[in-house]
Amino acid sequence: MRDRSRGCAPHRRWVSGNTRNPGILSWEDKLYVADPACTAGQPRIRRTFFPGETLSQISEPLELAKDAQDLLFREARTANTFSGEPVSEEQVRAIYDLVKYGPTAMNTQPLRIVLLRSRESRERLVQHMAEGNQAKTLSAPLTAILAYDSEFHEKADRFFPDRAQGIRDMFSSSAEARATTAKLNASLQIGYFLIGVRAAGLAAGPMTGFDAAAIDAEFFPNGRYRTLVVMNIGKPGADHPQFPRLPRLDYEDVVTEL
């Protein structure tokens, strides 16, 4: 069998076939998957498949390109210091225009975002934050207060026109039901927003160390919005500390199949 794994462009992905049982790899068969990032024209062999493995197993389990996976998850880190590079309104609009498609129950979309760009606005915020969160918030080019709208159902004509009246009726009589729904779904949206920040090539620094009631009184005196998370956004500073990544739980620790 001729080894065709060498050479990047013509053989980025090559499978040796088994003429007797095309779906099964035999002892003579090997699968070479070349790394797209070739060095000096020579691909790195990622994996050799062995007997008993089916050809259906050769495809990558994730559709998202590996570099995008790394950008969003594996190589992304929480930022605690920031460069002086600004975060533009255009970038934030692009982030929101992407992550707004993330699902929420009944399409309620209860997240509300207040952006603090000026030092004056951030000084109003940091007086209500834990001491360890103050300096980095003042140094960030942009800080977002991520809150939920306790009266989200009033926008039902916008987010679910066909069932607007039913949604208003469902939530108008119960502040507790509104709060439960709003907290859960706004928290989902905060997760989407964080990933969107990373998709823009920026770093996010989410924080919950603050006096939420005091922030609400400072920025939302009418009581309609309730703060959930404060997030610093920007390019990491040159002195950004790279602490060792803390361990994540394994699949077996988290997932149970019945």
- 30, 63 contact by CB (below 8 A): no
Distance, first Cα to last Cα, the chain = 44
Rounded CA-CA distance 198/77 in Å is 9
- pLDDT number for residue 27: 44
Query: pLDDT, tens digit, for every residue of 236-257?
Result: 988 766 778 899 999 999 999 9
- pLDDT number for residue 14: 41
Q: How many CA atoms lie within 13 A of 19 on its CB side?
A: 0
Rounded CA-CA distance 121/219 in Å is 10
| Residue 233 backbone class (left: φ over 0; alpha: ψ -120 to 50; beta: rest) | beta
Spatial CA neighbour of 75 closest among 242, 252, 257: 242
Domains, the chain, with CATH or none? 1-59 (no CATH), 72-234 (3.40.109.10)
- pLDDT number for residue 108: 99
Spatial CA neighbour of 235 closest among 142, 125, 146: 142
Per the confidence metrics, is the pTM higher than 0.75? Answer: yes
Range 130-154 average pLDDT: 98
Task: Select the more confidently predicted residue: 49 or 250.
Answer: 250
- pLDDT number for residue 60: 80
- pLDDT number for residue 53: 53
Q: Ranked by mean pLDDT, which of 3-17, 35-49, 109-123 comes out on top?
A: 109-123
Task: Select the more confidently predicted residue: 27 or 232.
Answer: 232
Q: Please, which pLDDT band fits residue 59 given cuts at 50, 70 and 90?
A: low
Query: pLDDT, tens digit, for every residue of 65-91?
Result: 999 999 999 999 999 999 989 999 999
Express as a percent the part of the chain with pLDDT over 90.
72
Strand order in the sheet with 111-116: 111-116, 142-149, 225-234, 203-207
- pLDDT number for residue 33: 44
- pLDDT number for residue 84: 86
- pLDDT number for residue 43: 45
